[in-house]
Amino acid sequence: MNQVPLERKVLKENDRIAAELREQFRAHRTLCLNLISSPGSGKTSLLERTLEGIGSNQRVAVLTGDIQTENDANRLRRFGFPVKQITTGGTCHLDAQMIGRHLANWDLYAIDFLLIENVGNLVCPSSYDLGEAAKIVLLSAAEGEDKPLKYPSIFFKSELLVITKTDLLPYVPFDMAQAEENARRVNPGIEILRISNTSGEGLAQWLAWLEERRQQFCAAHAASLV
């Protein structure tokens, strides 16, 4: 069997498992979000600020993926929310089977938000559905504003672009307007937030986006039962 049919077979099986996960998330009213970026764009830092700032009445859980180490999970566990590390051992993305396996002993009825931190990569994760309600792509001001044009698939598939490390703008040659224009050339409907995990800029808007997305998700679920 050559590579292309094998890849299609793998993706077809992944999509089957992802569809089952998506139905579970809907039934349990668990909003699942998949965070994707290059290494070092600030996914873990954003999750730290999210767990620090989200309301105490919110029930949040995190799955964080890395090729090696539990460093990110250890950083996030200190906030008291359920966190599991998925160590891929070399695989450059998470897949639906990994998600299902690590959810095995979690009660989804007790989780309002399931936040997935994917492996740092803009290519492989874009092909794998994890059953999420939305993909979120991060782009830091330390990267090039042409990333949306170089890696269009993930920007096309994401509902939200979070531009991180905005506190570096005085010190790096990053054209914010051009980055946003490039993202909208790939995906005209993409929403965009500007955030600094260091200064706190934009974090209130990020938390508001999460709450609004959760309300929309629950409203859609309620409507489907009518």
Angle at the Cα of 155 (from 220 to 117), degrees rounded to 5?
70
How far is residue 18's CA from residue 100's CA, in Å, rounded to a whole number? 9
DSSP symbols for 98-142: HHHHHTTTS-GGG-SEEEEE--S-SSGGGG---S-SEEEEEEETT
Report domain extents, the chain. 3-225
Q: How far is CA 142 from CA 56, 69, 102, 108, 167, in A?
A: 33, 24, 33, 36, 10
Reported as a single tens digit per residue, the pLDDT across 126-172 is: 999 999 999 999 999 999 999 999 999 999 999 999 999 999 999 99
Q: Are 195 and 203 in contact (CB under 8 A)?
A: yes
Residue 120 reports pLDDT greater than 50: yes
Q: Are 115 and 81 in contact (CB under 8 A)?
A: no
Reported as a single tens digit per residue, the pLDDT across 47-98 is: 999 999 998 789 999 999 998 888 899 999 999 999 999 998 888 999 999 9
Q: How far is CA 131 from CA 15, 32, 68, 142, 179, in A?
A: 8, 8, 24, 30, 28
Reported as a single tens digit per residue, the pLDDT across 178-224 is: 999 999 999 999 999 999 999 999 999 999 999 999 999 999 888 88
CATH number 3.40.50.300 is the correct assignment for the domain at 3-225? yes
- For residue 179, give the nearest of 221, 132, 218, 144 by alpha carbon: 144
- For residue 61, give the nearest of 20, 33, 96 by alpha carbon: 33
Q: Cβ contacts of residue 149 below 8 Å, gap of 6+? A: 182, 185, 186
Residue 3 reports pLDDT greater than 60: no
